[in-house]
Chain A
Amino acid sequence: MPEAILSLAGVHTHLGQHHILQGVSLEAARGRATVLLGRNGAGKSTTLRTVMGLTPASAGSVVFDGRAIEKARPYAVARAGVGFVPEDQAVLRGLTVEENFRLAMLQESPEAWAKLDTIFELFADLKKFWRAKAGVLSGGQKQMLAIARAFVGDHKLLLIDEPSKGLAPIVVDHLIASLNQLKQHTTIILVEQNFHLASQVGSDYFILDDGRVVHSGLMKALVDDEGLKQSSA
């Protein structure tokens, strides 16, 4: 097992009166893509949001790159090197595409701007709409912008929540290609319901249910398993 860039141990999260995460433990290996699977309401998004400090853990530890971050505020987690692409294509609609990128660059360094070339290769539409308000982009383009924005921020780890949600199959194929490119540059944790995308991008998987990890392993093994089930059914 390669070294873990992120590890959660016994993480509990409460939202109001509700006990949502009930002792989540998982590890994400550096340089790989880890997928979180599970049915609706299992706690996948809450797990990502807890890592970001948006819904702080009430117990347990979150260690990122050797630092305990379970008490850190969201901006501090981001500054430590964690990028976050939330569930709902949360681009800033009132800002132009360009301003969305500038916002994502904590330092507007030449290196950050140089990254845009890579981004334009992955997401050509963003170049086309460079000066347009992000609000006018299509759903797929917004998703691209949200991912690209996290990428330009120079993160060691990217948390991406259901990037395929609401996208047409052909756009999902494009997304798979883009995510696989992205994998070359950074570690990814991906929440995904679309098993096709998950299997094409993920290296490791964790399955959550009722706020706990119930199963984990190599994505490849899960795919073979699924195939076995399909053929025996």
Chain B
Amino acid sequence: MDVLNLAHGAFFAWGAYAGFAVLNALNGLGWVETGTLGQGILSVLLALLAALAIGGVLGLFLERVIIQRVYGDHLKQILITMGASMVLAEVIKVLWSPNNQTVLVPLSFTGSYDVMDVVINKFRVVAIVVGLAVYAGVMAVMQKTKLGIIIRAGVENREVVQTLGYNINRIFTGVFMAGAALAAVGGSMWGIFREQITPAMGDENLIFALIVVIIGGMGSVTGSFLGACMVGLAFNYVAYLVPKLALGANILIMVIILLIKPWGLMGREQ
């Protein structure tokens, strides 16, 4: 869509807080810390759903009120979405607290599996499954459906798509909402995984998202997928060996890739 949106960090944080609030409320019913496996799974699903909804609503609001005014102007997009994300982070402090919050997680989602002496964190497995499902879903919609054709065409040439009879503004609002909703789900997953959330978590994670997208190539879902794998693996390996260099290693990878492929791994020259 050719929009540089730095508010995704804020969607991420809001998703985490929405999930946190839902889990807190359900814990009041005894579903979370002391619940059955079914109640635990349902709690997590409801938390993700709440994140999806809040992300969608925030995305709708931001696109309609702010982004629509700055289509085609990258500098304004960067500045205005940065501003919006600061506001959104401050609102979190007002509604909850400026301090860390502990996320209540159903017992069935904590701890690890032991597969032949290899310890695998349970929620990591869930995260990988959800991640793959989202990737497969986005790819299927973009490549196989009429909606996907319209979106790809709209990214290339809004005007032509409009003159073919599609309300591209409305469709792009929907795409933007979907992106925000997915960022919020990611935040909610992150919160459950870490069992800790802070108002600043959006910015802390946005840097990784940006590195992932730049490495992968803007506008490419598969590129982002590859970028995410590289960033995640590199971060963890380096963090294990030399903790302080973890982020630096990612940036180094990004620099090297950009030197070789200026548009990212799967990006198209513009």
Contacts and interface: CB of A to CB of B under 8 A. Distances in A.
Contacts of A94: 152-153, 156, 268
B167 A92 contact: no
27 contacts: A54-B162, A73-B167, A74-B159, A74-B162, A75-B163, A75-B164, A75-B165, A75-B166, A78-B164, A86-B163, A90-B157, A90-B160, A92-B152, A92-B161, A93-B156, A94-B152, A94-B268, A95-B149, A99-B152, A102-B146, A102-B149, A103-B150, A103-B153, A103-B161, A103-B164, A104-B164, A106-B165
B156 to A, nearest CB: 5
A28 interface: no
B168 interface: yes
Contacts of A103: 146, 149-150, 153, 161, 164
Across the A-B interface, give the 7 residue pairs with the lowest CB-CB distance, nearest first. Answer: A78-B165, A74-B162, A84-B163, A92-B153, A90-B160, A79-B165, A75-B167
B163 A78 contact: yes
A108 interface: yes
A106 B161 CA distance: 11
Interface residues of B, number: 18
Interface in B116-163: 146, 149-150, 152-153, 156-157, 159-163
A87 to B, nearest CB: 11
A52 interface: yes
B160 to A, nearest CB: 5
Contacts of A108: 146
A199 B197 CA distance: 72
A99 B149 contact: yes
Nearest to B159: A54
Interface string A82-121: 0010100010111100010011101010000000000000
Contacts of A78: 162-165
Most buried by B among A54, A93, A94, A153: A94
Interface string B160-183: 111111111000000000000000
A104 B165 CA distance: 8
Interface of B: 146, 149-150, 152-153, 156-157, 159-168, 268
Interface in A164-212: none
B236 to A, nearest CB: 35
B145 to A, nearest CB: 10
Contacts of A77: 163
Interface string A129-162: 0000000000000000000010001000000000
Contacts of A106: 164-165
Interface of A: 52, 54, 73-75, 77-79, 84, 86, 90, 92-95, 99, 102-104, 106, 108, 149, 153
Nearest to B148: A99
A139 B156 CA distance: 18
Contacts of A104: 164
A17 to B, nearest CB: 19
Contacts of A93: 156
Contacts of B161: 92, 103
A106 to B, nearest CB: 5
A53 B25 CA distance: 51
Nearest to A94: B156
Contacts of A74: 159, 162-163
Given A90-B157, A92-B156, A106-B165, 12 more contacts: A52-B163, A54-B159, A74-B159, A74-B163, A92-B153, A94-B268, A95-B149, A95-B152, A95-B156, A99-B149, A103-B164, A108-B146
Nearest to B170: A75
Most buried by B among A92, A93, A149: A92
Contacts of B166: 75
B141 to A, nearest CB: 14
